[in-house]
């Protein structure tokens, strides 16, 4: 059975899924797993598509100290216990820079190019590239496909794409990229099936998790995003501040005497909900806390979602629907209700019973804009792109052989 492995690597975890390839374009989930606690409390868990367990095993920190070793360990378990023929590996890569606007098969030169964007995504890019390097070393003939979170936004207009800086910097790649594109692409692709009446309309998709952003989508295409040059911009996140006056960065460097590295660590690790609350970066813990800081952090989060919704609606020239996705958006009825309160001026009206029950459509019949919850599936999107690149490559090779 031919199969595709999808790898989504973070700083201390590796999520993976295995999809069987059926026919020319059909994919079927076989295995879904995660290796978390890498370097501290490593734990490998996996289950079948029907959620029945396959493995739940812990390791010592010394046995699995980094993402590369975790991938090797998970890969060895897959080879020893699962009966499939791996034909390719698809990877989530957060930043494609100005060079990569679509999925691409990876070689050493591509990895070197992508490493240039590590300063623009220091929490993600190094860990996205680590398993690619490991597999290139161990299985150099295995096709690996990089799928970029920035690619979905690359159709933005020049006005949306620029900062108010000299064109020479834009030419170097200093521009607004937008992120979470694999999630937005998946959700936008689901709308014709779930809600055909809005699929071609003016839609805001809110990817709300530890990392959070929002995207303005018109006729299934991204036209604007809350994130820009890096994944620091836009909404406040678990540990990142979101939209920030650049003068604050200058203040950190000059008045607080931070080094560039210290400022980077501060902005990526100590701000956002964690910094505001002084309690936690986890929305679940903040909702349960009676600490005034927790209340401030949650109020700030919902306030900024409301503000950015207005900005994105302006980019769209109106609004037909607002879609919740990702961890907070999919699982927290309370946060959805709080956010909808900030959308009342659009004519949004929540159906409390549908929201509490976790229904797909959560707007009332009287609501002037549709409200939906659409679970995202970045891994399936990566698998689809990986299969498409493989098929296109095979078609080109076949055509070349015929004309040779």
Give the pairing type, strands 370-373 and 321-325: parallel
Annotated catalytic residue: which of 149, 161, 320, 377?
149
Annotation says 320 is catalytic: no
As beta bridge partners, residue 46 has 33, 55
Tell me how far apart the alpha carbons of residues 132 and 91 are, in angstroms, rounded to a whole number: 8
C-alpha closest to that of 82 among 127, 35, 33: 33
**Tokens of residue 250, six digits:** 């200058």
Strand bridging mode 212-218 / 202-208: antiparallel
* Residue 228 to residues 119, 214, 232, 239, Cα–Cα distance (Å): 14, 11, 8, 17
Q: Could you tell me the two tokens for 208? A: 């709300």
C-alpha distances in Å from residue 48, one per residue of 189, 208, 376: 25, 27, 19
The 10 Å CB-count burial string (b at 16+, else e) for 275-304 is bbbebbbbbeebeebeeebbebbbebbbeb
Q: Which residues are known to be catalytic?
A: 149
């Amino acid at each position: 059975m031919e199969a595709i492995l999808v790898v989504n690597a973070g700083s201390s975890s590796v999520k993976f899924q295995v999809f069987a390839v059926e026919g020319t374009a059909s994919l079927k989930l076989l295995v879904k797993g995660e290796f978390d606690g890498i370097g501290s409390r490593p734990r490998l868990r996996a289950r079948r598509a029907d959620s029945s367990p396959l493995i739940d095993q812990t390791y010592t920190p010394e046995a699995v100290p980094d993402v590369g070793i975790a991938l090797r360990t998970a890969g060895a378990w897959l080879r020893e216990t699962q009966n499939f023929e791996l034909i390719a590996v698809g990877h989530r890569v957060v930043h494609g820079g100005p060079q990569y606007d679509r999925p691409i098969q990876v070689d050493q030169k591509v990895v070197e190019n992508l490493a240039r964007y590590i300063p623009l995504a220091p929490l993600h890019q190094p860990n996205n590239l680590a398993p690619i390097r490991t597999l290139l070393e161990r299985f150099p003939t295995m096709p690996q496909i990089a799928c970029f979170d920035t690619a979905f936004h690359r159709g933005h207009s020049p006005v949306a794409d620029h900062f108010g800086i000299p064109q020479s910097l834009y030419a170097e790649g200093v521009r607004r990229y937008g992120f979470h594109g694999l999630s937005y692409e998946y959700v936008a692709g689901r709308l014709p099936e779930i809600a055909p009446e809005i699929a071609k309309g003016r839609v805001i998709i809110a990817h709300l998790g530890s990392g959070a952003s929002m995207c303005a989508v018109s006729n299934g295409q991204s036209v604007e995003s809350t994130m820009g040059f890096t994944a620091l911009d836009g909404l406040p996140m678990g540990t990142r501040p979101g939209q920030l006056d650049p003068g604050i960065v200058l203040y950190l460097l000059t008045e607080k005497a931070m080094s560039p590295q210290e400022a980077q660590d501060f902005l990526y690790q100590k701000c956002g909900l964690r910094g505001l609350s002084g309690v936690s970066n986890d929305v679940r813990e903040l909702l349960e806390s009676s600490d005034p800081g927790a209340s401030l952090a949650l109020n700030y989060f919902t306030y900024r979602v409301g503000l950015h919704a207005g900005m994105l609606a302006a980019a769209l020239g109106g609004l037909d629907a607002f879609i919740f996705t990702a961890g907070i958006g999919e699982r927290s009825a309370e946060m959805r209700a709080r956010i909808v309160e900030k959308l009342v001026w659009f004519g949004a009206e929540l159906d409390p019973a549908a929201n509490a029950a976790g229904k797909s459509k959560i707007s009332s019949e009287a609501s002037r804009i549709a409200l939906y919850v659409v679970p995202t599936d970045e891994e399936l999107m990566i698998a689809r792109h990986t299969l498409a690149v493989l098929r296109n490559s095979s078609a080109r090779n076949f055509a070349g052989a015929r004309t040779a």
